[in-house]
Each structure stands twice: as structure tokens, then as C-alpha cells.
Amino acid sequence: METLIHTLNKNSFFYDYITTLAYSQFGINELFSRGFYLQKRNEFPNYLEFIDEIRQFNFPEEVEEEIFRTQTFTPRIFVSGFVSKNQKTVFRLDPNLSALKFIDDTRGITDTNIRLTHMTIISAFEKIMQQNLDDSHVLQFFRHIRNASAHNGKFHFDKKVIDPKNNVLIKKAHWKEFNIQPSLQGERLIKENKDDKEAFWDQGDFIEFLLDFENYYPKLVENIDKN
């Protein structure tokens, strides 16, 4: 089943988290694409040679078309930056130079997107911690994926949460078919690529979890309505 991000219910408790994650990952993908394009154009200033180089990658036709018709990029007026309160200090992003640096610094977009998802998980969990929710297996599930995100994307269990006699969590932590157990210690939370069979789940499962979480705690939606 496919769901388009723009069709999500704006009144969902985690709507801002989901859309911000989606928009940010799109930006990461755009930065990677820009870096790839500029790198190849620098390597092959002759346009015909550039075309031959791109075609060696056997990209889908629609991808090739997008590459070949690229002429302009984001206007500088829309370039992101960070300004201090007194406006004397500015950290500005140069799209082209940052795109080339991004290509040099990373193996691709996957690592960066996953780190961004880890940060979103941590932030979303902190938001619900302010709601004084009753404990449950779903809240415990959220707690453990948050802890995994904070430990470089790998499950981490303190001894105090484990029943040493039976080697199970003292408080159950599960959601749908996903069941968290101490045996996951050190295992990756999110798939690194489509062929990764070892990780616990993927980013789409996290989004579905956020949308489903409020079904376990209806008062979250009630609080939104009151605001």
C-alpha cells in the first residue's frame, strides 16, 4: 500500500515530524543529485562526453532525462543559512560547493537519511514524554527504538531492564509483528539498503508506527483538538 505524504491527516499527533523528515530527506537526495551532476560536469566539460559518461550508468530513462535537462539550481535567495540573534554571525550553505563536499564525504544518501531518521525518532519520543502517558508495551517499544537511535542506530539494553532468569525484558515491548527482546543487543534498527535482511525494520515501518501510536493513546489527538 502506498500513501502520499501530502495526503496525511494534518491533525495527526506526529504530522510535523513525518513531513519534516520527508522534506529533509528529499533535500538530502537533491544535494546528492546536485553533487553527482556537478562532479561529472567537471570531469567531462565536453557535453557529448558528459552524455556518454552518464549513459554508462544505465539509469532509468526518466532519470537520464532529468540529468540532461538540468540547467539551473535553487536561487541563492532560498539557500539555507543559520544567523545569530545579533545578525553578526552567519553560517551559510553554498549549494554547489556543499553538494560536491557531500559526494566526497559520504558513500551515498543512505547513511545520512538513516541518521536523520534516528534524530527524528529521538525527538518524537521526547515529545510524548511530556504527555504523561500510561505505560504500555507500545510505549516501551518506542522507548527502546529511541534508545537504539541514540546508540548509533543499534539496540542497547541496560541490565536493569532484563529479567536475568529468563533473558527477557521485564516490561514487554512490541508493536504489531515487531517484538523487542534482549537478543537484539547490538543489532541494527533500520535497514541499510533493500537487500539488508538483518536489520530490525525499515523507515516506512517507523512512519506507520507514528501514525498508529495515537490509536493506543486517543488523548493525544484530544490534546491537539483542544489546542
What average pLDDT does this structure show over 135-147?
A: 98
| pLDDT over 60 at 17, yes or no | yes
pLDDT digits (tens, 9 = 90+) for 161-181: 999 999 999 999 999 999 999
Give the 3-state secondary structure of residue 218. Answer: coil
Burial class (CB in 10 A: 0-12, 13-18, 19+), 124: buried
**pLDDT, mean over the chain:** 86
| Dihedral over Cα of 102, 104, 105, 107: its sign | positive
pLDDT on residue 96: 76
Taking residue 109's Cβ as centre, other Cβ atoms within 10 Å add up to 16
| pLDDT over 90 at 8, yes or no | no
pLDDT on residue 194: 80
Give the 3-state secondary structure of residue 99. Answer: helix
Domain definitions of the chain by residue range: 11-105, 110-226
pLDDT on residue 108: 59
Beta bridge partners of 81: 92
Which pairs count as long-range contacts for 201-209, CB under 8 Å and 24+ apart, including other chains? 203/113, 203/114, 203/117, 205/178, 206/117, 206/120, 206/121, 206/145, 207/18, 207/21, 209/141, 209/142, 209/175
Q: Alpha carbon of 117 to those of 89, 107, 138: distances in Å?
A: 29, 17, 19
Distance CA 201, CA 179 (A): 11
Q: Report the relative pairing of strands 162-163 and 90-92 from DSSP bridges.
A: unpaired
112: cell is: 545520512
Length of the chain: 227
pLDDT digits (tens, 9 = 90+) for 27-76: 887 888 888 888 888 999 998 999 999 999 888 888 888 788 765 555 55
**Element containing residue 83 per DSSP (H, E):** strand 81-83
